[in-house]
């Protein structure tokens, strides 16, 4: 019986460590935004470039903030999780980047100030939503 309790205790500790590590990385990962910039994150379903209503709202908020702050450049960084082939994920990132750029333009942003950076595959084979995103970075 004590051996069984030890196994459960060990499993619980491993799970707690995984949750703590995931939370820490989720909070610190987007901090590479240059000083004075704002970052908006748009998440996608696996193998999808479809903009949900929530994604459209985030993009509209980014466009509004860009206009209000007089942003001189908007960087659109697109990522895909490492599920699938690197070539497919690069294409998916390019597609996500284009779709977000098109939506920014539809929301009143001049296409000339938008720079697309389709990064492609990031992370491990973990298909977590964190790696399936587009970062919209407003630069002053």
Could you tell me what percentage of the chain is helix, strand and coil, using 3-state DSSP and rounding each to the nearest 5? Answer: 55, 20, 25
> For residues 7 and 119, what is the distance between their CA atoms, to the nearest angstrom?
41
* Of 85, 79, 83, residue with least CA distance to 43: 79
Q: Mean per-residue pLDDT for 3-24?
A: 44
High-pLDDT (> 90) share of the chain, % = 51
The crossing angle, in degrees rounded to 10, of helices 86-106 and 53-69 is 60
Q: Please give the sequence-ordered ranges of beta strands (E in DSSP) within 1-140, or none if there are none.
A: 38-43, 73-80, 114-121, 133-139
**pTM of the prediction?**
0.72
How far from 5 is each of 15, 94, 132, CA to CA, in Å? 15, 50, 38
Q: In the sheet that 133-139 helps form, which strands lie side by side, from edge to edge?
A: 38-43, 133-139, 73-80, 114-121
**Is residue 8 helix, strand or coil?**
helix
pLDDT tens-digit profile of 27-78? 334 445 556 689 999 999 888 999 999 999 999 999 999 999 999 999 999 9
pLDDT tens-digit profile of 77-94? 999 888 878 888 889 999
Torsional class of 45: left (φ above 0), alpha (ψ -120 to 50), beta (otherwise): beta
């Amino acid at each position: 019986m004590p051996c069984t309790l030890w196994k459960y205790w060990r499993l619980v500790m491993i799970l707690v460590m995984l949750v703590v590590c995931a939370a820490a990385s989720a909070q610190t990962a987007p901090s590479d935004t240059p000083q004075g910039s704002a970052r908006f994150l748009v998440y996608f379903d696996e193998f999808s470039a479809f903009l949900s209503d929530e994604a459209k709202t985030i993009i509209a908020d980014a466009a509004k903030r860009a206009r209000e702050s007089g942003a001189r450049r908007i960087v659109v960084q697109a990522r895909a999780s490492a599920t699938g082939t690197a070539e497919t994920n690069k294409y998916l990132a390019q597609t996500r980047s284009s779709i977000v750029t098109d939506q920014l333009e539809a929301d009143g942003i001049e296409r000339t100030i938008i720079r697309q950076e389709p990064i492609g595959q990031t992370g491990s084979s973990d298909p977590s939503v964190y790696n399936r995103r587009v970062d919209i970075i407003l630069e002053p």
